[in-house]
Amino acid sequence: MKHKILVVDDSALMRKYLRQMLETQDDFEVHTARDGEDALRQIRELDPDVVTLDINMPVMDGLTCLSHIMTEFPRPVVMVSSLTEKGALATFEALELGAVDYLPKPDGTVSLRIKDLTDELVAKVRAALRAKRRPRRKTRAREEGLPKRSVGGRASPKSSTRPSTASPAEWAAAEEGVVLIGVSTGGPRTLEEILPELPADFPLPVLVAQHMPGKFTRVFAERLNRQCALRVAEVGGPTPLEPGTAWIARGDADVVVSRRKGRLVALSVPADERFLWHPSVERMVRSALDHVPPERLIAVELTGMGNDGAEAMAEVHRRGGRTVAESEETAVVFGMPRELIELGGASAVLPADQIAEQLVEWALGQSPAEGRGAARA
């Protein structure tokens, strides 16, 4: 059975390259469109299974076209965007509108090195063929407006899914721990459902490895910081892991947990090519196991292709830590969480909209059996 793929780009050279890249697959039937209006006409006629969509185009740009697709002809869309800050901002807007994933052009609008990404493009299109489309869920932060900043620059816990029951002093006295989140395809939208639901005084630091290019992660961290009660930032130099903060690993690198002067820190380090994806979830979790008692770790495996982090999180589970696998019902791509479940490494299997509440319960000292959605792995 042939899968119909529609490539939309205003550059004839890019259309040619993208078509050749996809036609390496015997089961892909590839068509092209020169702009957004042409794309909408062809979607009506061809009914493609997946659309790859450029952002910067004349006549009708990619974001406008995407909004029409999601409203009139919902189907998986992979954005093809420039590897720039402007391209990152537009890409996150596209993901919010409903795009499944994105492919960054290495050299800007017309990229002569795009063919270097053939395997990645094919993998993303295949993931899009399997991806589920689900409506955007409004968090309380979105429904009620952005959280107000209070003394010290922290946001009020207005967007929390539940009131906290421990004082900051009690939390400060607790033994060090950390929440580790691994995520790939479909991750930005999923993280934007989970992190804004954590209170500003969440008692554990949060460290996120989201597979993403380096020029995108700072923009993504800034975007999350505007939405969350937690302070959110990209990991730069040695970064103390403190409660009430969420740190996004820098793209095109790895992040590891270490200790400096007795304190837990996150370090951005060169990507280790022994690992397939970056920032590597597997490397992040294994480094945390070297420096934090397993019972003080909470590891979360969210939507994504492949198995990055599954073995390390299963090890956390075996050694007494707590783990969550996102359930199939909400995972855009059920690859990474499924691997964790099949390894018997999930303390709980939960839809995305229940994960923040579970994290709060565990962080406040409840056992996995007491937490919502007890282990079903």
Report the alpha-carbon distance of residue 222 to residue 43 in Å, rounded: 35
Q: How far is CA 247 from CA 180, 206, 222, 314, in A?
A: 10, 6, 11, 22
Measured over the CA atoms of residue 258, residue 299, residue 283 and residue 104, the dihedral's sign is negative
Q: Residue 319: how many CB atoms within 10 A of its CB?
A: 12
pLDDT at 132 over 80: no
DSSP label at residue 250: P
Report the alpha-carbon distance of residue 35 to residue 18 in Å, rounded: 15
- Name the residue with tokens 């009131």: 163
Q: Tell me the per-residue pLDDT of 322-331, one tens digit each, with 9 for 90 and over.
A: 999 999 999 9
Report the DSSP pairing between strands 77-82 and 50-54: parallel
pLDDT at 369 over 70: no
Return the percent helix, strand and coil in the chain, to nearest 5. 40, 20, 40
Between 147 and 17, the higher pLDDT residue: 17
Q: Which residues pair with 45 in a beta bridge?
A: none
DSSP label at residue 195: G
pLDDT of residue 254: 97
pLDDT of residue 87: 83
Query: Could you please report the per-residue DSSP string of 109-165?
Result: SS-TTGGGGHHHHHHHHHHHHHPPP-PPPPPHHHHH-SPPB-GGGPBPGGG-SS---
- 169-178, 287-296, 307-316, 347-356: least confidently modelled range: 169-178
- 82-91, 213-222, 276-285, 319-328: least confidently modelled range: 82-91
In the chain, which segments carry CATH 3.40.50.2300? 3-130
Q: Tell me the per-residue pLDDT of 237-252, one tens digit each, with 9 for 90 and over.
A: 899 999 999 999 999 9
pLDDT of residue 111: 73
pLDDT of residue 258: 97
Instruction: State in Å, rounded, how far the first CA of the chain is from the last one.
Output: 34
- 131-140, 147-156, 338-347: least confidently modelled range: 147-156
pLDDT of residue 265: 97
Q: Band of the pLDDT at 142, cuts 50, 70, 90?
A: very low
Overall pTM > 0.75: yes
Please determine, looking at this structure, whether the domain spanning 3-130 carries the CATH number 3.40.50.2300: yes
In the chain, which segments carry CATH 3.40.50.180? 140-363
Query: What are the residue numbers of the active site?
Result: 184, 211, 308
Q: Tell me the per-residue pLDDT of 113-122, one tens digit each, with 9 for 90 and over.
A: 888 889 989 9
Give the three-state DSSP class for 348. strand
- 16-25, 88-97, 239-248: least confidently modelled range: 88-97
pLDDT of residue 150: 31
Q: Tell me the per-residue pLDDT of 41-80, one tens digit each, with 9 for 90 and over.
A: 999 999 999 999 999 899 999 999 999 999 999 999 999 9
pLDDT at 146 over 60: no
Q: Give the architecture-level CATH label for domain 140-363.
A: 3-Layer(aba) Sandwich (3.40)
Query: Mean pLDDT over all residues of the chain?
Result: 86
pLDDT of residue 108: 66
